[in-house]
Structure formats: structure tokens, C-alpha cells
Structure 1
Amino acid sequence: MGNLVNLTTLRMSGNKFSGTIPDDITGLKKLQRLWLNNNRLSGILPITLGNLTLLNELYLYNNKLQGTIPSSIENCQNLLLLDLSQNNLTGIIPKQLFAVSMLSIGLGLAQNFFLGSLPSEVGNLVHLYELDLSKNKLSGKIPSSLASCTSLEYLYLEGNLFQGEIPTSLSSSRGIQVMDLSRNNFSSQIPNFLEKLSLKNLNLSFNDFQGEVPTKGVFANASAISLIGNSRLCGGISELNLPRCLVKEEKKIKWPFSVKVVISMACVILVITIVSFFLFYWRKNKRNDNSSKSSLKQSFLRVSYQMLLKATDGFSLANLIGVGSFGSVYKGILGDDRSIVAIKVLNIQRQGASRSFVSECEALKNIRHRNLVKIITCCSSMDFHGNDFRALVYEFMPNGSLENWLHMDLETNIMQVEIRNLNILQRTNIAIDVACALDYLHHHCPMLVVHCDKKPRNILFDCDMIAHVGDFGLAKFLLRLTDLKESSSIGIRGTIGYTPPEYGLGSEVSTKGDVYSYGILLLEMITGKRPTDSVFEGGLNLHNYASMAVPDGVMEVVDPKLLNNVDEVLGSHNGCLANKIKECLISMVKVGVACSMELAQERWDISKAISELHLVRDIILGARI
């Protein structure tokens, strides 16, 4: 291929080519159009891609490409169109991409796994006609510099983690015709300037917009807009069927001057009285309640020992649903709305319990994710005997823990959950849920959090069998180097079998330690064997056991219960689909082995594991269809 030095156009799209993109292609210096889309190409983008300085069009969409966009892309200064959609590309979008100021026809990066924020350098693409970043994991706010893309007519940002307001700078983007911001975390009011744009279609669904919906421009056509999934909106045109905004219009009344003076004086006296009362009450509480300060924000529900005692019927055994490292967990009914909650009561006498309480409060007060157990409030008080009392109140998970579903007998099932065998699709979904929670803790939450205790007992299921990671009692926050040094002095952190080997040698906690625990957890889900199983003795462990089975012996180490219900997932199809299931199981074992390597630097990043597991799930779902 590299001998075709005078080639200007190469179109090989819509075939079944596999393997990597040959590096020789980047030696075709006269190449202007390269179409390799709709194939099965894998591997990374060539690092020397920037050698194609005359390239105008690059179509690589709908392949299986991995890795990041090489920074050499900035050398392709004649590029008019770039489409990398529907691949497995990861990492941040490099700023060098936006140095290609000639990009004008379109930039497509949709349906990948790009992370981080959208760089402000996107404003350099002043001639860009279409920008499609949908269905990635991009976060942060839309940069105001996007308004500099004055030729932009199509903007697709749906299915990401963008937040904040729609920037007012976009009011100057009069050429935009289609804007899709759905399935993000945008909030505040819908800005009125959107009425004045040339929009023909606007999708703001499944965000957290609130307040009154505009009625002019695109908002005057109900078929041109989508606002579903924003429960706090009101007003708008009647076809939207939104509730009326509660705005009270009062008639203007002309009050006599003397009446105005009396009312003003009464208001001043009332304010002084309220402030005085507040100061008196605050000082009294400050003197008497220093022992019950909480590290959580006051917006959280305030509960007392007596309330929790009543909610659990005196912490009765009938309400006991679990026993952990630092305490017991009870089912409770709390508040006037009689919400069902899980109450974790710490055993203060246990060494490290107080530190666990503080760690868990700090970890959970500022982080939110669909795959993390939601904390409702905490209680730091005294019981009726004058002893210190510490408790955490969580959202109740009615389907128990992964430990229950993998190992527990009916006789020892404390929560009395109807335990059934987890099929391969369920186990894949659980693996993805847990990995997404780790990815959030490591890359996207306000502070970098290392969980330190990943194990089946800490993976809980809601009513839809969505997995939630809980128990942050050993969590560490890697904000400063001093945090790392302090954590290295407390010995082995976590649970035997799931703790990475370097922790036993005194190494500092890291995200790689969590990845190791995740790898062991995934292998346990596939093999059905705990890492502490009696079969593992001498030099054999769960990692080696699974590694030696790849690829030909995987079916011999797979949990028999998992194989028994393959038909439940696929239905009564012919045997050729069994090969696809075998392929999926081999891939999942490979992911578990790659994440649980003995040397930390050899372990995968959790985002790569997510990418591989998504491919596995796609194969399973395709087999079902």
C-alpha cells in the first residue's frame, strides 16, 4: 500500500476489513480523501496520522478503533471533514484537534468514550458546519467560546454529562438550526435568547431545566421541541401540556403616605424582632450542642438517636439486614412519609470506626452517581446511656448485595430476598455498573476518591437490579501528597483477597488498587469462586487460576450456574450462538485478568475495562435479537 505514492483517493468503506490501520498509509503524502468507515478495524489511530498534510476528508466511523486521537492531527491543516464516530476511542479530546481551523464540513466524534471537558479551543473552528459529540462521557460546562463557531448550523451534544447553564454567548449564534442537548445535567431556566435563533429543532429533554418555558420562535411549534424529563418546567404553549406557572399578579394599589410609613415601621420592628430571636436561639444552641456537629451540609435531613431507634423498632434483630466491618445495618421506616431506609450503626468500640464514619461522610456528601449508594443523612449523638452514637442513613436497596446473589444460601439470607441465578447479561450489566462508579470516583467527581474496599458485599441492588457501590468507610481522598503518606501507615487496607499485593508491602493507596479489586470481583462473578476459596493454596490464586484458563480452558472455570441459564437469555436458538457466549466469557475473563495484574503499572485503566465490557454486552444483546 505504501508504494502508491501518487494516490489521492482511497475508498475501502463498507467491507469487513479487520486488524489495524497500516502505518504505510500515512506515507501517502498526496492523499486527499481516505474512507475506511463501516469496517471492523481495531487498534489505535496511527501516531503519524499528521503526515497526511494534504488530507481533506477522513472517514473512520463505525469501526472498533481504540486509544486516543494522536496530537499529530494538528498537522492536517487542509482537513475539511473528520468523522471518528461509533468507535471505542477514549481519553480527552486533544486541543491540537481544534488547531485544524479548516474543519468546515463536519467534526464527528459521537458514540465513543471521550472524557473530560470540551476544550475552549473549539472556538477556533469558525467555519464548522456540524459538530457531533453525542453519546460520550464529556462533562463540565459548554465553553462560551463555542459561539465563535459562527458557521455552525448543527450541534449535537446529547448523552453526555454536561452541566450548568446554556451559555449566553450562544445568543450570537444566529445560524444554528438544530440543537440537541438532551440527556445531560443542564439546569437553571431555559434562556429566552433561544427564541431569537433560527432553530428548526430543539431537544432539551432529560435535564434539570426549571421555570417558565418561552413561547416564541422555535418554542411556538410543539413538534419542533422536546422538553420531556424536566419535571420543574411550567408555562409554554398549551400544546406542551405543562402546568401553569404560579405567578401571582397583584393589582397596584395606591396607599396613602401615612399608611406607607406605618407599614414600613412595622416591617422594621418585625425584622429586628426576628433577628434578635435568631441570635438568642443560635447562641443557646452553640453552647449546648457542640458535641453533635455534623460534617454534612444542613440541607440534609436532621435525625436524632431517638428517631432512628423508633425507625428500627429498637434496632431489633427482625430489622437486621447486614453486619459489616465497623457495625450493623438495619432496615428502618423514617419520617412522616414513612420512607424505607437502611441505617448503618457503627460500633464505636471497634478500632477505626470513628475514622470510618468521618471518611464515609466526607466521601458521600459531595458525590452523586447513579451507581453509588445515595446517603440521606447521618447522626452523631449519644444514646440513652450517654454513650457516643454514630449512624449513617442510606437509600434502601431492596435486592440485597452481590454477595447474596453469588454465594448465599436461603438459610443465611438475612434480607429474605428471592435469590435466583444471575445470567450472563445480568452479570455483564453489573460489571459495567460497578466499573462506571469507579470511573466516576477516579476521574469525574469533585475530588479523586479511592474506595479501598471493593468486594461483593459492598455492591447493592435496587428494585431494577441496578448495581450501586456502597461502604466508603475506608475511602481515601487524593487531594494532596500528605494524604497519600498518611494512608500508607495504617497497614493493609481493604478485605483479604481483594486487596492489591502492593498494599501489603506498605505502598500508598491509588486508583490502581481499586482496579485490582475490581478485577478480582469480576473474576469472582464469572467463576463463582471467592478469592479466599480453599482451592487456592500454595502459589495459586484467583488471578492465576483464570489467567491459565485463557482462552481454551475458560469454559472449564466458568460458574456452572451461569452456564445453566444461558438459554434464559438467548431463548431456544441453535448451537452456533454458544460460540458467541463463549467469546463473551473469554473477553470478560481477559478484562478481569488485565485489571488484577500483580504489578500496578500493568493494570488497565477502568475506562478501558468499560469499553471492552460494552462490546461484550453488545454481542450478547445482538445474540438475543
Structure 2
Amino acid sequence: MKPIQNKSPSFISPLCNKRAFLLIFLFIMQNITLSLALRSIDHPGNATDHAALLVIKSQLKVPSNWVLSSWNDSIHHCSWEGVKCERKHKRVTVLDLSSRGLAGTISPFIGNLSFLKIINLYNNSLFGEIPSQLGHLIRLNELRLYNNTLVGEIPANLSRCVNLRVFFLANNKLEGKLPTGLGALSKLIHFRVHMNNLTGPLFDIIQNLTSLVTIAVVENSFTGTIPNSIGRMHNLTLIAAGVNEFSGTLPTSLFNISSLEVLDFMYSQLHGELPADVGVNIPRLTWFNLDGNNFTGLIPITIQNRTALEYIGLGSNNFIGNVPFYFGNFHKLNYLDLGGNFLEGDINLIDTLVNCSQLCDLTLGPNHFSGILPKSVANLSTSLEMLIIPNTLISGKIPEGITNLNNLELLDIYNNKLTGSIPQDFGKLYKLEKLYLESNNLKGKIPNSMANLSYLSELHLENNILEGSIPPNLRNCQSLLYLNLAHNELNGTLDTELFAGSASFIQLRLSYNRLEGSLPLEMSKQSNLQMLRLDNNKFSGVIPDSLSDCSDLQYLNMHGNSFQGNIPSSFASLASLQEIDFSRNNLSGPIPAFFSKFPILYYLNLSYNDFEGSVPTNSVFANASAVFVAGNNRLCGGIKQLHLPKCIEKKSSGKKKRIISHALKLIIPIVGALFGMVAIASGLYLACLKKKKSPLSSGSMMGIVTMKVSYDMLLKATSGFSSENLLGMGSFGSVFKGILDGKLVAVKVLNLQHRSASKSFMAECNTLRNVRHRNLVGVITACSSIDFQRNDFKALVYEFMPNGSLDRWLHGFERNMSLAQMVDVAIDAAHALIYLHHECETPIVHCDLKPSNILLDSDMVAHVGDFGLARFLTQPRHPNQSSTIGIKGTIGYAAPGKNSVIPIYN
């Protein structure tokens, strides 16, 4: 038999055979791939990793689709973006999604990736807490979560990650104490948790981690001391622990770690003296920063052995002694801060620093240096960006060559004794951002070349002797935010160009100069202005309405100029104002009511202008320590503490309406005639009046007060009889203002060294005990008080009369009493005289009636006081004879009122 031959069907062409073969090949390959994928997912561990990664993805927000676009079932998860697996079982060992712009939270399912060795999620925007499930990852070597916004505490069970070598959680918002279990991570090499809000002890927890190479905990609130055991960390190259709340000193063992390159404990509240051999056993040290502590003593001379130093921060401590001159030997020196100490010596230290060709930042003040600022300052490194020498008592001129330092960004030489002028070519410092030359003795004009400083944001030239006008081309300083030219001798007007350019001031201080003229309308273009101080110049004209466009204004001071007119009504929009001072100008009109609507206004000074009308009583106006209105003689109302007269209503009724006649010109003569008629009538009436007891007048007269007051109470009420509370002095004593039981009172204190004082005291008491009337001083029950410890202390207490005497209103600084008020006072005084002459049991003649003895209460009601010369009239023994009992002596200022005199007891 012949072997059977396989033949293709005759109807299949060769081309079809090729296509069929290709389809079969693709089918087989697809099934192989699918089979492998299914087999990998079917593996228990692989399936767990796959599922965990998908959950992790679900809790992340990605900035664009491509970041995690590969995380799908089309390929194995070991090929996903940021995922790496080990070869044998394809388990996830690395999750690296750093710097992907991710947001969202870290899923607790990350703890299911049990083979994970490296987690890199740094430089993202992750928030929420660190999941405690990370403690399940016993194989974890590296944990990098820094530069996110994670919150909460560091999970305690991270101590289970016994293989952890890298621990980076810096620059988050973590808080609370470090878990004590972290001290068991014996393999830890890098520990970095800086820039968080962590608290509690630090070195007590990590002191046994002798494998540590770097410790970075800057900007937290760690506490505790630095133990001497830190010297056992023989591999330590970096310890950056600044800006914390440690205590104690730096242990000497720290300076025996020969591997140390960076030592930074700035602003950590440490103290004590540095070891003398600080620079002997740390040959690799390049960074040495102890700024902002409380170290004392001398700067160890052994530091000169460390010539490789690049960064030296010893500022803001309490070091003493002569300034070291060996710093010029540090040719790699980049940063040197010796300021804020008590170092002495010559500022010629600068001569040696010329050799530091890489110097970028030099701070030498404040200190107790002396001498002339050397010209060698112009030969410092051209890389210098910051030159700070304030408060060092140096003198001389600013060297012209200082403009060679064309990389300077900050120049600070304030509060010295520099003289001469500012170099005219200052504009060559084109990178300058901040210039502080205030509080020197600089003269001359402000250089026009400063307009070239396009990066300048702060210019401080105050407290010098600069003259001339303000250069209008400063408008070209497009970055200028803070301009302070106060306390100089600048003159001229404010050029409109100064405000028309690109400069956008936040603070503009021109106080205490000789500037004049009106304010330019262009000032309103300073929309970012928060502080404007123009006080004590010669400005005039009206306050521009357009200034209200500066809607961010918080502090406005125009004190001591010649502004006039009203406060613009448009200022109602300046609700951000906190302080306002318009005092000592020529402003007029009413006080704007909208000031009381400013929510954060806490200081308002309108003194010594010509404001008129009523003063509000709400909001800021309710605080007498926040509002000042003295020297405005046409104001009324306000709270009582402002001592302003009561505002008179336009409508009058009753007696007042009848008294004010249609012919005002006749009122003054009528008032004078009224006093004359009262005097004549009183005399005639006395001749026919029979002695009888008359009922007391009604009104605001009070009964006898029996309040007991001790010396100590009066001492406290008058702040120890302080001179600030002294109202006046007389022959027999002094009068003080005080607060007694919450009530404002006037306290007469007798000078018992005067032989007639006690007699006068008792005589006045006897008189006042017999008078009770609303227009007279009130009643007392007893006035004498014996204090054996204080040698018969005697005093009278009256209700305080806030509006003082009539004399002040007629001839004093007030001088703004209306005609209607004058008539009311005359009538009140007339009622008092009628009562004294005709209604007392024993008639009394005052004998000393004058404006200074007529006192006005808070309602401008007049009260007749001071009975030092008054006389009782008895029945005459003979027709042509009268008998009197005289009362001699007056005791200075007396402000009796409706609540009478309060007797003094102990």
C-alpha cells in the first residue's frame, strides 16, 4: 500500500493558506498572553496586589489622564506607571508616584502590598492622615512622604517596620509626639521630619539609634535636652534641629563626632558657653549655625582650625569679647552672621573679609564695634547679596565704591553715625530690593539715580537730615511698596508724577518734614495703600475726596498741618481704617457719623480743629480712651467722659420759650435788670419777712447721705491723690477728682498745717448743713473725721461737676455758651439767691457770688457753691443793728451737686 498523502483541499488557494496561518498564530499568542495574565492574577499574592493598587488609584486625584492611564487590565500591574515588582512571584516591591501632581488620600489598602520595600509619594498634594496599615509592611526599607499636606500623628505601629532605613515625612502638617517605638528602629539611617508641628521629646526617643547618618527636625516644637549619649552616633554627618524648644546646653560629645559636616541648632533656646575645643575634632564641618540662642562667653578660637567652613551663624546670642579676625582665612565662606551680640573691636574686620571671594551674606550688627566704615567694603565679594551692619556705632561716609557690589539685594546700615551724602550713583545697585539707611546723619538730596532700582521694594531713609524735594522719578521704582522719608528736612510739594507711575505703595511715611501745598489727586491711584502718614508738615487745602479710592487704608495720620474744610463724605467707604488722626488742623463741619460704623476703628483723634455739632456716643465714640475731641469749642453731646456741654434742642417749651423774646437785643439788658431787681427785692423782703421754717424746694435735691468713707477709700479713688487728678488748690487745701463706688466725685482735702483750716472746715459744714436746694450745694450730715494714724485727716466729698464753672464758659477756653444757656444760668442763680434770702430758717447772704462760684452739672444746670464768705442773718437787737456769724476761708475748687456731700468716717 502506498502511504496516505495529506493534501489540502483544492478550493483553498496558497494566499488563503498564509492568512489562515497568520490568524492561527495570533489566536495562539493571544491565548498564551491571556493565560499568563489570568495565571498571574489567580496567584493569591498577585491578586491581592492588583486589587490593592486599584483601590489606591481610586482615592487619588490626578492632574491629567496620562499620569495613571496605564493602571488598567490591559497590561499586568507590574508594568503600570510607578510600579515595580520582584521577578519570581511578581509581587509589588516599589511604589514610586513622586512629583506627579497627585491629590487625594493614601488608601489603607497600601498595607496589603506586603512585599513593598520602597514608598515614594513625595512632592504631591496628598492630604489626610498617614494610614496605620503601613505598620504591616515589615519589609519596608524606605518611606518618603515629604512635601505634601498630610495631617494627624505619626502612626505608632510604624515601629513594626523593623527594616526601615529611610524615614522622610518632612514638610507636612503632622502634629503630636513622636511614637516612642521609633527608638527601636535600629537600622534607621536617615530621619527627616522637619517643617511639621511635632511636639514632645526628641532625643530621648532617638538617642539609641546609633546608625543614624542624618537627623533633620528643623521647624517643629520638640522639647527636652540634648543628651551626652548623642556622641555615640559615630556615623552622623548632618544634624539640623533648629527652630525648636529645646533646653540646656550643647554636650561636648557632639563636637567629637568626626564625621559631622552640618551642625544646625539655630533658634532652639539653648544656652551656656561653647566648649573651647569646639573646632578640634570635627575636621569635615562645613555648616555651623547657632543663630538665635542664648549662648554666652567668648567665641572659641579653635573655630579658626575649620577653614573649610562655608556657613557660620553665631548671630543673636550673647557672645562677648573682641571680634575674631581669622574669618578672612575661610576662603570658601558663603555666610557669616556675627550680629546681635556684644562683640567689640574695630569695624576694620571688613578688611580681612575681602579674601572671602564667595561671600554672599555678611551680618556684623548689632554689636559694639567702632571706627569709620572702611573703604574696603567696596572690595568685598561681588557675589555679596546681603550686607547688614546696623547698630554698630560706626561713623564716616558711605564709600562711593560701594556700588561695585552690584549683586546686593539687601543693604542695611541703619542707626549708626554715618555722615555725608548718599552716593549719587546708587542706581548702579540695580538688584537692590531693600535699603535701610535710617537713623544716621546723612545730608544732601535723595539721588535721582535711585529711580533705576526697579527691584526696590523697601526704601527707609527716615531720621536723617536729608533736604530738597522728593524725586518724582521714584515712580519708576515699579516694585516700591514701603517708602519712609519721615523726620528729615525735605521741602517742596508732592509732585503728581510720584503717584502717577508704576510704584504701588503699601506704606507711605512722610511725617515731620517741611512739605507743603495741597495733596495731589493722583494719590488716589495708590489702591494698595494701607498706611499714609503726612503728619507735622505744612500741607494745606482740602482733603481730596478721591483719597477714598484707597480702600485698603488702615492707618491715616494728617496731624499738625493746615488742612481745612470738611472730612469728605466719601470716606464712608474706608471701613478698613483702624487709626485716624486729623488733630491740629483747620478742619470744620460736623464729625462724620460714619466713623461709628467702622468695625475695627480703635483710635480717632480730631482734637484742635473747628468741628461743630453733636458727637456720637456709639461704637468707637463710646470709649473715652479711644476718641479725642479737645479744642473743638463748638462740639456738644458725646459720652460724659468727654466733658462736652449738652446739645441744645432746636425746640424750646415752657419758661424757656417765654423768656426768649422776639427781640434778642433786649435780652441782655433784661437779664442784667433781673439781677438788680432780685437784689432789691431781696433786701425789701427781708425787712418784712417773719422768721419761720419754710419747706424745702423740690427738684433734684437729695436727702442726707450717711455713706461712710475711709482714708484708704479716698486714696484709692484718687489714685493716691495723684497730680493728674488735681483739680485746684486753695488757701486751706486741694481738690482732687476721683471715682468712688463707681461715681465721679470731687474730693476736698484740708491742709491741716494751716491754722485756720479746721475752723473753716467746720464752719463750712455748719453752713452747708442748713441749705437744701436744687441750685445749691447739697446737704451733709457730718464732715469731721479723725484718723489717729494719719493725724486728723479731713476731707469733703462732692459729686463731680463735669462742666466746671461759669467763668470757664464765659472767659476760659470753652467760650461757646449760647444765649439761651446764659439765660438759664441766670435764672438758676436767681432761684438759689431767693432760697438763701427768704426760704432758709436762718437767712443767708452768700457775699461772694461770681462766675467762678457758679458750677454747672452735666445738664448745664447751675449750682451756687463756695460758702466760705457766707453770713447767717439773726434777728437784730436794735432796729439799726444786725448780727451775723461769719464763715471765713474757702477751700479751692468745689463742685457740689445734687447728691450732696458725703461725710468721711474711718
Per the normalisation by structure 2, the TM-score is: 0.27
More helix by share: 1
Select the structure with the greater relative contact order (CA < 8 A; seq sep ≥ 6). 1
Larger radius of gyration: 2
Per the normalisation by structure 1, the TM-score is: 0.40
